[in-house]
């Protein structure tokens, strides 16, 4: 499962590749969340709102955490928060990967 949070729908450089993988591989799913509305509407195929600890917990419960590998990318405070939420949801630290490049 891939959860992607964006400001607007065109902010995801690899959106078409994610959708391609999701369409062809049953074990790869993607959900795009946007925090900004376009013309007051949420585009089709997108969810509105931030990815928060509640959503992470709901998503982790649907998956086999022993096989789950998590990649987190974003601003350092968001990475810290997401990693903590994943650990609180039962994901082992060794299965959480992240990059802090700024």
- Residues of the chain with pLDDT > 70, as a percent, come to 98
Signed CA dihedral, 39, 41, 42, 48: sign only: positive
Write the pLDDT tens digit of every residue in 1-44.
788 888 888 888 888 898 899 899 988 888 899 988 877 888 88
pTM of the predicted model, to two decimals? Answer: 0.76
Write the pLDDT tens digit of every residue in 44-89.
888 999 998 898 888 888 888 888 889 898 888 889 999 999 999 8
Q: How far apart are the first and last CA of the chain?
A: 26
């Amino acid at each position: 499962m891939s959860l992607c949070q964006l400001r607007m729908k065109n902010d995801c450089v690899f959106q078409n590749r994610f959708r391609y993988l999701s369409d062809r591989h049953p074990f790869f799913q993607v959900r795009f969340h946007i925090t900004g509305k376009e013309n007051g509407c949420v585009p089709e195929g997108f969810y509105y709102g931030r990815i928060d600890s509640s959503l992470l917990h709901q998503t982790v419960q649907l998956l086999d955490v022993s096989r789950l590998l998590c990649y987190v990318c974003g601003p350092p405070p968001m990475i810290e928060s997401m990693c903590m939420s994943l650990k609180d949801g039962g994901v082992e630290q060794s299965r959480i990967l992240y990059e802090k490049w700024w």
